[in-house]
Amino acid sequence: MDPKQEKKFTTIHYHAYLELDKILDAQHPRSEVKGEIPAHEEMLFIVVHQVYELWFKQILHELSSLMEMFENDRVDERNTGTAVARLDRIIEIMELLIQQIRVLETMTPLDFLDFRGYLFPASGFQSFQFRMVENMLGLPRDQRMTYNQAEFDIVFTEAQKERLRKVENGGTLFNLVEAWLERTPFLEFRNFSFLSLYEAAVQRMLEKERTAILQSEYLLPESREIRLRVLDSTAQYYQNVFDPKRHEELKASGELRLSYKATLAALLIKLYRDEPILQMPFNLLGRLTDLDELLTTWRYRHAQMVLRMLGKKVGTGGSSGHDYLQQTAAKHHIFKDLHNVSTLLIPRSELPPLPEEVKRELGFFFTQQV
């Protein structure tokens, strides 16, 4: 390497590389500028929220790379492992975001009131990066809570709204994973029909459970009736996966989002997770449900923190505060269908055995060259 070039690459300073002058000069408590008495706790409030935004930026960076991997019609199996690793990173970040709430809660409600009046009308609802995270993951507009009876993006500029719409219309991670699942090749493989074998196994399992309930010597008549009703309800849920038309009706009503074929593929992956070629896809689906769960946990903890700090006060941005946040925790699920697939699982003992030719395909079976 040219000595001048080598010097160029070795003279960077830690302070300059991280541009710490910009970062450390970005905290300007309004209570110091606007108020007679500076509020000590406002610095913590600013730093915590700035850290949130930095982590949101990293999450967006990871999600962009994930979506690039799944945009092709054929996802390289090696990319699946990379996708799992990057989802692991996002999951660790989400764990940190939840823990940060505890740091913020070291500030008391009275401490917060010392500077809250200077924040109007600023609000966490105006975090553009977080809305981008939600959109990239696949939270649909028609399933969002409204913001003061208006669309969630009303607080953003036209340029920001356009970026959000572009993500919505250009293919979210949910859409890309759904398309990836639909390409699963083992649902119908030569003489192997996953759905017909699975349906027969389910019927056998349900009949065993019904017989066990009816023949039990320990159940009172009332308890027996309750258990039979629960079993019938479970049986009805299984029927949804045996009837594509019924599945589409549930999609149209908003009860389901994942396509019929993608749901079957997710079910197959979860049932036969021990087969080598399905282990990484199983891990991928598990990470997506982990991420969905952590987002819900973060929303819930955020709601509880707001209740602790403000009680029933209106939020600085004009929302209903705690009530709004609590409702988003209950409603804003993205990968709920992957959670619900667990309802369709059956015990390993009831699992239909795979034909040998399918096992060879699923097991990366290769003839060794001697």
pLDDT tens for each residue of 131-164 = 999 999 999 988 888 766 788 898 899 999 999 9
pLDDT number for residue 365: 45
Contact 283, 83 (CB under 8 A): no
What is the percent of the chain where pLDDT is above 90? 65
Alpha-carbon distances, residue 166 vs 48, 103, 136, 153, 159 (angstroms):
29, 35, 10, 13, 11
Instruction: Please give the domain boundaries of the chain with CATH numbers for all domains.
Output: 15-362 (1.20.58.480)
For the segment 63-92, the average pLDDT, to the nearest whole number, is 88
DSSP secondary structure letter of residue 189: E
State how far the Cα of 197 lies from the Cα of 354, in Å rounded to an integer.
Answer: 10
Nearest 10 degrees: Cα torsion 171, 173, 179, 182: -160
What does the pLDDT look like over 260-276, one tens digit per residue?
999 999 999 999 999 88
Range with lowest mean pLDDT among 100-109, 129-138, 141-150, 275-284: 141-150
Question: Per-residue confidence at 87, pLDDT binned at 50, 70, 90?
Answer: very high
pLDDT number for residue 185: 74
Range with lowest mean pLDDT among 5-9, 92-96, 174-178, 289-293: 5-9
Residue that wins the pLDDT comparison between 369 and 28: 28
- pLDDT over 90 at 49, yes or no: yes
Question: Per-residue confidence at 369, pLDDT binned at 50, 70, 90?
Answer: very low
Question: Per-residue confidence at 363, pLDDT binned at 50, 70, 90?
Answer: low
State how far the Cα of 366 lies from the Cα of 226, in Å rounded to an integer.
Answer: 52
Question: Per-residue confidence at 122, pLDDT binned at 50, 70, 90?
Answer: confident
For the segment 98-102, the average pLDDT, to the nearest whole number, is 96
What is the percent of the chain where pLDDT is above 70? 90
pLDDT number for residue 364: 54
- pLDDT over 60 at 208, yes or no: yes
Question: Per-residue confidence at 250, pLDDT binned at 50, 70, 90?
Answer: very high
- pLDDT over 60 at 317, yes or no: no
Across the strands, what pairs with 147?
150
For the segment 197-226, the average pLDDT, to the nearest whole number, is 93
Helices (H), 272-311: 276-310
> What mean pLDDT, rounded, does the chain reach?
88
pLDDT number for residue 1: 55
Residue 71: what are its φ and ψ, rounded to 5°? -75, -20
pLDDT number for residue 239: 87
Burial class (CB in 10 A: 0-12, 13-18, 19+), 188: exposed
